[in-house]
A and B are shown apart, each in its own frame.
Chain A
Amino acid sequence: MSIFVDKSTRVVYQGLTGSQGSFHGLRNRAYGTQVVAGTNPKKAGTDVEGVPIFATVADAVRETGANASCIFIPAPGVASAVMEAAQGGVEFIVVITEGVPAHDEARFFNVLKRDYPHVQLLGPNCPGVITPGECNIGITPGEIALAGGSVGIVSRSGTLTYQALHELTQLGIGQSTCVGIGGDPVPGTSFIDCLSRFQADPATEAVIMIGEIGGSAEEEAAEYIKTKMTKPVVTYIAGQTAPPGKKMGHAGAIISGGKGTAEAKISALRDAGCDVARNPTEIGGLMAERLRKG
């Protein structure tokens, strides 16, 4: 078992004909993902190294049975690409693109919620999701993940997601599913969306959650962990030494008004019974210890 994606996931890539789309789409295929289609209205009928290109997601769904989409479209086109995917009939949409306007995100998130409540959106501005050995959608380097394990990962930061995978794999600890939710103002999938699925997933025994300073998503997740989760959660919060008031790149990563500080988040997570790593390297060790204790 796993969450969101597995062997049966069939993925259409919107933007497969572009340089990033083809590099990562083909890399996902090499990993073992069922990369069944790409879209580009001007190149319908052609193929990218054997992957057929369709004019629309609807065509791709009809012809290939795709049930998930991965979007590598430049930011100005993301809003319409997301709607095309939902209208086309896929149930899982992953947006890798960064730099999407906040108002676009707010609108398409809420339109999906209203008109396509069965559709799960991941991102924008995220690395994607990997169920090791089964399916990798997005830009996570698959070789750093280890199949057959029982640790779920959810992270707001792309590169730290890789770091966490890497730390676990180095210790021989495999992962059930690893989800990068991204740090944008309106993420399609939240920490809690993932935590609840990991809690329900029989293949997941423990969870790593990686947060950042700013906002209050980690505090909300801590409340959820405290009240709803029985599986152990190891956490790390990036930005513990960031000077207050400095915006550190991610739209979400800012400390302000005394809220969203690393201290506040760490304290809430400790209070919820989580182990809190001081740096990414400690994540693996703390998880190994948790798993040993059972």
Chain B
Amino acid sequence: MLRLIGCTVDAGNSSAGYVGAGPHHDACSRQTTGFGSVRGVATSVRPAQGWLTAGAKATTPGAAVDLFEYQGKQLFARYGIPVSAGNVAVTVDEAVAAADAAGYPVVVKAQVQVGGRGKAGGIKLANDAAEVRLHAGNILGMDIKGHLVKRVWVENASDISEEYYASFTLDRGAKKYLGMLSAQGGVEIEQVGEEKPEAIARIHIDPAEGLSDAQVRGWVAAAKLNPIATEGAVDILKKLFTAYTEGDTDLAEINPLILTPDNRVHALDAKVTLDENAEFRHPEWAEYAATQEMDERERAAKEKGLNYIGLDGTVGIIGNGAGLVMSTLDIVTQVGGTAANFLDVGGGAGATLLANAIEVINNDPNVRAIFINIFGGITKCDEVANGIVEAMGRVELRSPMVVRLDGTNAVEGRAILAGHVSDTLIPAATMLEAAQRVVAIAGGM
């Protein structure tokens, strides 16, 4: 039996496999993989939609939102999945109150969306209020790989007999849901996936049919969990599937799912990614907006309804459609420039949105020239042109703009710009010509 702890232990407390290693999501997944924590587990599996990886903190409209552990656990609890008694705390006093309510011993866990929090000292066992005070005091405000710890999760420590892994996500190739379950959960699940893929039992679930009781039982049997865990696992997997589907999550993962010495099955961690496209039917998600972490440029852009990702170059880029914007980055790089950002105004952008986009780019001190690349479909080039003119009146532009307009209402759009052509507004006929001109202004690498 492994002694303890909310899925993670600091050195000296446990068997070798656990010492100093965080729970799976500390160890790896948010940093390195697009697919939960099981990179390499399923070669046929696509990354969960919108999974955000290390350093990419952008949360874009229509994208995905990664929940903190405590938010995931609270969500699981709402679907009846057993989680440890606990609470989130932003001060030492709150942490002590949470520990008193949860019952000692407790685990104090830093709430950050970055790997390695266990190794960084962000997860500690506390046997009494004084220890909670000490550890919470140290952990709150700690910097873990550039992430400031603003909250801790304090929960009753669990005794662990066995650790399992369970998750649901979308297999984009099969166009079906994929469930994965393993008797060998815990921090090494990625390695299990790579070295012993047969140790992970997988099922495809037809989204039109849902998950049947017989299917769950067959799946649990295939995973060869301890028979004593069967009923508990079946119950949790059904509830996790409901949380996955009704909760509109891209990923619902428990690692580890534990069996306790008194034969209870219990979720000791929670990893949940929400599909932001479903926000309209989840008013309860409003609370997550305040805790999402992103850089200031990205937050400002998101508030204006823009899909923005900050990069390090000198050419500010605005385009419509992710593919065209990526391809604009490509062509700028190919002619010797560097992109300062990815900014997709999306489909159907009007003048004000375009003006806002220019304003966001203009506020980036690295930008030396701006490339506006629009191919109108649902977006109308005359509205884009009006947005450019609006921005020129509203914003003190620090950099020249090179503009390429094609597609819907392009003739009208070019005519609007024609009256404003200057050193700061340069029309270009093609994407390649525009790239060359903008890079000539911004300078090469």
List residues of chain A with CB under 8 Å of any chain B CB: 20, 24, 75-76, 96, 98-104, 106-107, 109-111, 113-114, 127, 139-141, 144, 155-160, 162-163, 166, 183, 185-186, 210, 212-217, 220, 236, 238-257, 259-260, 278-281
* Partner-contacting stretch, out of B56-64, B79-87, B159-167, B288-296: B56-64
Residues on A with C-beta less than 8 A from B34 are 254-257, 259-260
* Cross-chain contact B55 with A245 (CB below 8 angstroms): yes
Q: Which residues of A contact B40 (CB under 8 A)?
A: 257
> Quick one: which of A110, A210, A217, A255 contacts B176, CB cutoff 8 A?
A110
Known contacts A98-B62, A101-B277, A246-B342; decide if A106 and B49 are in contact (CB<8 Å). Answer: no
Question: 10 tightest CB-CB pairs across the interface, nearest first?
Answer: A157-B323, A256-B34, A159-B321, A249-B322, A159-B324, A245-B53, A110-B208, A101-B278, A106-B207, A239-B326
Q: Chain A nearest CB: distance from B314 CB in Å?
A: 14
Q: B371 at the A/B interface (Cβ < 8 Å)?
A: no
Question: Can you name 6 extra interface pairs (CB under 8 A) apart from A110-B176, A259-B47?
Answer: A101-B277, A109-B175, A160-B323, A241-B339, A259-B34, A260-B34
Contacts of A220 in B (CB 8 A): 173
Decide yes or no: A254 and B39 within 8 Å by CB, A111-B208, A139-B378, A159-B321 being known contacts. no
Instruction: Tell me the nearest residue of chain A to B309, going by C-beta.
Output: A246
Pick the interface stretch among B68-76, B329-337, B386-394.
B329-337
Given contacts A75-B277, A98-B347, A247-B60, contact A114 B330 (CB under 8 A): no
CA distance A20 to B355 in the complex (A): 21
Q: Across the interface, name the chain A residue whose C-beta is closest to B347.
A: A98
Is B153 interfacial (CB 8 A cutoff)?
A: no
In the complex, 15 of the A-B residue pairs with CB atoms within 8 angstroms, ordered by the A residue number, are A100-B277, A103-B275, A110-B209, A127-B377, A140-B377, A159-B320, A163-B324, A185-B49, A215-B172, A238-B326, A241-B333, A246-B55, A246-B342, A250-B322, A260-B34
Q: Assess the A250–B323 pair: CB atoms within 8 A.
A: yes
Q: With the chains together, A139 CA to B176 CA distance in Å? A: 29
Which among A110, A166, A183, A216 is the interface contact of B323 at CB below 8 angstroms?
A: A183
Expressed in whole angstroms, the Cα–Cα distance for A76 and B250 within the complex equals: 17
- Bound-state CA distance A158–B346 (Å) is 10
B316: Cβ under 8 A from any A Cβ:
no
Q: Which of A111, A141, A186, A216 has the most CB of B within 10 A?
A: A141
Q: Does B155 contact A (CB under 8 A)?
A: no
Number of B positions contacting A (CB below 8 A): 73
CB within 8 Å of A: which of B388-414?
Answer: 406-408
Cβ A247 vs Cβ B58 within 8 A = yes
Q: How far is the CB of B442 from chain A (nearest CB, A)?
A: 15
A113 CA / B377 CA spacing, docked (Å): 30
Bound-complex Cα distance A186 to B406 (A):
29
B407 to chain A: closest residue by CB: A141
- Counting chain B CB atoms within 10 Å of each CB, the highest count among A166, A210, A257 belongs to A257
Q: Are A99 and B326 in contact (CB under 8 A)?
A: no
A285 to chain B, nearest CB (A): 11
Judged by a CB distance under 8 angstroms, whether B444 is at the interface is no
Q: How far is the CB of A33 from chain B (nearest CB, A)?
A: 15
**Given known contacts A246-B56, A257-B33, is B329 in contact with A241 (CB within 8 Å)?**
yes
| Docked-complex contact B207 and A249, CB < 8 angstroms | no
Interface mask (B422-440 → A, CB under 8 Å = 1, otherwise 0): 0000000011100000000
Rounded to whole angstroms, the CA-CA distance of A104 and B277 in the bound complex is 10
Interface digits, B33-48 against A, CB 8 Å rule (1 contact, 0 not)? 1110001100000110
Q: Which of A20, A210, A238, A248 contacts B309 (CB 8 A)?
A: A248
Structural contact, A251 and B50, CB atoms closer than 8 A: yes
Bound CA span A151–B311, Å = 37
B47 touching A24, Cβ below 8 Å: no
| A141 in contact with B331 (CB, 8 Å) | no
Closest-by-CB residue of B relative to A220 is B173
CB contacts (< 8 Å) of A213 on chain B: these are: 326
Q: In whole Å, how far is A81's beta carbon from the nearest beta carbon of chain B?
A: 15
CA distance A250 to B377 in the complex (A): 17
From A75, A96, A162, A236, B406 is in contact (CB under 8 Å) with A162
**8 Å CB contact of A247 from B50, B321, B325, B406:** B50
Which of B33, B311, B326, B375 contacts A253, CB < 8 Å? B326
CB distance from B357 to the nearest CB of A (A): 13
Contacts of A186 in B (CB 8 A): 170, 172, 175
Check if B348 is an interface residue, CB within 8 A of chain A.
yes
Inter-chain CA distance A127–B346, complex, in Å, is: 12
A222 to chain B, nearest CB (A): 14
State whether A103 touches B248 (Cβ < 8 A).
Answer: yes
B343 closest partner in A (C-beta): A249
Residue of A nearest to B432 (CB): A281
Structural contact, B280 and A106, CB atoms closer than 8 A: no
CB < 8 Å neighbour of B348 from A20, A210, A239, A254: A20
A256 touches B53 (CB 8 A): yes
For A20, the chain B residues whose CB sits under 8 A away are 348, 378
* Interface hub of A103, A111, A114, A236 (most chain B Cβ within 10 A): A103
Q: Select from chain B the residue with minimum beta-carbon distance to A243.
A: B311
Contact indicator A215/B47 (Cβ below 8 Å): yes
Q: Which residue of A lies closest to B63 (CB)?
A: A247
**Chain A residue, CB-CB nearest to B245:** A103
**Within the assembled complex, what's the spacing in Å between the Cα atoms of A244 and B46?**
16
Query: Known: A106-B177, A111-B208, A238-B323. Is A75-B51 also a contact (CB below 8 A)?
Result: no
Assess the B39–A257 pair: CB atoms within 8 A: yes
Residues of A within 8 A of B39 (CB): 256-257
Among candidates A99, A104, A245, residue contacting B62 with C-beta atoms closer than 8 Å:
A99
Known: A102-B250, A248-B322, A254-B34. A163 touches B375 (CB 8 A): yes
- The answer to whether the Cβ of B327 comes within 8 Å of any Cβ in the partner chain is yes
State the Cβ distance, A233 to closest chain B Cβ, in Å.
Answer: 18
Question: Known contacts A159-B319, A279-B330: does B52 contact A247 (CB below 8 Å)?
Answer: yes
